[in-house]
Amino acid sequence: SSSSSSSAITDLEQAQLHLFQQYLRINTSHPSPDYTSAVSFLSAQALSIPLISQTLFFSPSKPLLLLSWPGSDPSLPSILLNSHIDSVPVEPSKWSHPPYAAHRDSHGRIFARGSQDDKCLAIQYLEALRALKASGFSPLRSIHVSLVPDEEIGGADGLAKFVESDEFKKLNVGFVLDEGQASPTDEFRVFYADRLPWSLVVKAVGSPGHGSRMYDGAALENLMECVETIARFRDNQFDLVKAGILAASEVISINPIFMKAGIPSPTGFVMNVQPSEGEVGYDVRVPPTVNIEFLRKRLDEEWAPVIRNLTYELFLKGPKLSDNGGRPLSTATDESNPWWSVFTKAIIASGGKLSKPEILASTTDARFIRQFGIPALGFSPMANTPILLHEHNEHLKDTVFLRGIKVYEHVITALSSFPGNSS
């Protein structure tokens, strides 16, 4: 090809890019992800390596593909590489290239929903394993790959059910890699925890009244006051980020998602009645070290006091998590976690650099692993890449994708060869 980025691309790499494009062309976006096509495509690839392949159903229409390469010492805890199959929806008219065409432009950028989040991982895992098999590598520990449904809608029918299953327990998983996020710099990012996803809905009630009347305690007056108080808290949190004191993922985010009020009429709203109720909903993300009672207290006392006829519901989205013995859902990134050093050394051996480990601002399936105290890191090898997950024109550069395969060859070799620190 004539493009500059592809001049150094080998036949093997062309084939790897083609696999990535084929996977991206399967529309696995909600609300109706084509899991069947995705799983048949991925399992055919796995069998060509070959890996042992099992399709598990924890919900009738949501297959989970489990691939395995047994280690020479199956008594050792295994390695699990996880990637979700599903994607978030698109607004196709806002894309410069169709979101399921996986068009590769003259700069080598591959445009598709899922290119960063996180379909790159499945193909990178598979191609790294294929290369290791071809080289004659023999893992000491068993290596498993889970390709799971449902992540983008909370994971209840995907990894959350899998980790509760006998199939999972039999794997004796000792360490997990899951998705991370792109890095605009030349350092890869790595995540040791996620913020937890809470949902807040505040409801207001009050006496209705004529639109012309001034009186205290109308539902929307109280609701607006609540909204303003919450907005001030949000500003304070955001100021800590803007001042560089905390990372965005280290504060509580509380962003308005919907507002519902007004009395509908054929032409819009009844404009001369102050309504008797209204509600507002927020997406709340909370760092793993924050006790949610802190928010409940603020809601009770300041944001949504009963005395102003406000009530609220604050709940953790998605499946309930076990409390991990009261410890926060995070993975150690120091000497107490031997996997941390194996992982970081492998990144360096691959020629990569890692930035300081972070909390992820959003939420991934890794929380279902960490709830059992199993160490899990979020990592997507995408350096020098704009962060485009869930955005229009999500794309990934060919060279970045291909380098990721090499990175995983190092990482998988190191993790699966790790003898353990006892004896």
Ligand X SMILES: CSCC[C@H](NC=O)C(=O)O
- Active-site residues, by number, are 86, 151
Q: Minimum Å distance from CB 362 to ligand X?
A: 4
Q: Name which position in 86, 127, 150, 152 contacts ligand X (CB under 6 A).
A: 152
Q: Strand (E) positions, 244-399?
A: 253-261, 264-265, 268-269, 273-274, 277-286, 310-316, 358-360, 376-378, 395-397
Q: Name which position in 222, 363, 380, 399 contacts ligand X (CB under 6 A).
A: 363
117 labelled ligand-binding: yes
Q: Name which position in 70, 77, 89, 197 contacts ligand X (CB under 6 A).
A: 197
Total binding residues for ligand X by CB under 6 A?
Answer: 7
Token readout for 13 is: 């790499």
Residue 97's binding partner, choosing from ligand X, Zn ion, none, with beta-carbon cut-off 5 to 8 A by kind? Answer: none
Q: For the chain, state the CA radius of gyration.
A: 24
CA–CA dist 88, 141 (Å, integer): 34
- CA nearest to 179, candidates 155, 143, 210: 155
Q: Minimum Å distance from CB 361 to Zn ion?
A: 12
> Which residues of this chain interact with Zn ion, rule CB under 5 A?
117-118, 179
318 in contact with ligand X (CB under 6 A): yes
Residue 108's binding partner, choosing from Zn ion, ligand X, none, with beta-carbon cut-off 5 to 8 A by kind? Answer: none
Q: Minimum Å distance from CB 197 to ligand X?
A: 4
CB 215 within 8 A of CB 202: no
Nearer to ligand X, 40 or 237 (CB): 237
239 labelled ligand-binding: no
- Cα distances (Å, whole numbers) of residue 313 to 93, 261, 310: 36, 17, 11
Q: Minimum Å distance from CB 363 to Zn ion?
A: 9
13 labelled ligand-binding: no
Token readout for 326 is: 């009261």
18 labelled ligand-binding: no
317 in contact with ligand X (CB under 6 A): yes
Nearer to ligand X, 166 or 323 (CB): 323
Nearer to ligand X, 33 or 71 (CB): 33
Q: Minimum Å distance from CB 152 to ligand X?
A: 5
Nearer to ligand X, 142 or 385 (CB): 385
- CA nearest to 43, candidates 74, 78, 71, 85: 85
83 in contact with ligand X (CB under 6 A): no
154 in contact with ligand X (CB under 6 A): yes
Q: Which long-range contacts (CB under 8 A, 24 or more apart) does 296-305 make?
A: 298/233, 299/200, 299/202, 302/229, 303/202, 303/226, 303/229, 303/230, 303/233, 304/202, 304/226
Nearer to Zn ion, 30 or 297 (CB): 30
Residue type, 278: G
Q: Name which position in 229, 341, 362, 393 contacts ligand X (CB under 6 A).
A: 362
Nearer to Zn ion, 156 or 259 (CB): 156
CB 217 within 8 A of CB 384: no
Nearer to ligand X, 28 or 78 (CB): 28
φ/ψ region of 390 (left if φ > 0, alpha if ψ in -120 to 50, else beta) reads left
Q: Minimum Å distance from CB 17 to ligand X?
A: 25
Q: Minimum Å distance from CB 365 to Zn ion?
A: 8
Residue 197's binding partner, choosing from Zn ion, ligand X, none, with beta-carbon cut-off 5 to 8 A by kind? Answer: ligand X
Q: Which long-range contacts (CB under 8 A, 24 or more apart) does 161-165 make?
A: 161/58, 161/59, 162/56, 162/58, 162/64, 162/368, 163/368, 163/369, 163/371, 163/372, 165/56, 165/58
Neighbour-count burial of 140, counting CB atoms closer than 10 A to its CB (0-12 exposed, 13-18 middle, 19+ buried): middle
277 labelled ligand-binding: no
Neighbour-count burial of 308, counting CB atoms closer than 10 A to its CB (0-12 exposed, 13-18 middle, 19+ buried): middle
CA–CA dist 214, 147 (Å, integer): 59
Residue 118's binding partner, choosing from ligand X, Zn ion, none, with beta-carbon cut-off 5 to 8 A by kind? Answer: Zn ion
Contacting positions for ligand X (CB under 6 A): 152, 154, 197, 317-318, 362-363
Q: Which residues are annotated as a binding site for Zn(2+)?
A: 84, 117, 152, 179, 390
Query: Which residues fall in the annotated binding site?
Result: 84, 117, 152, 179, 390
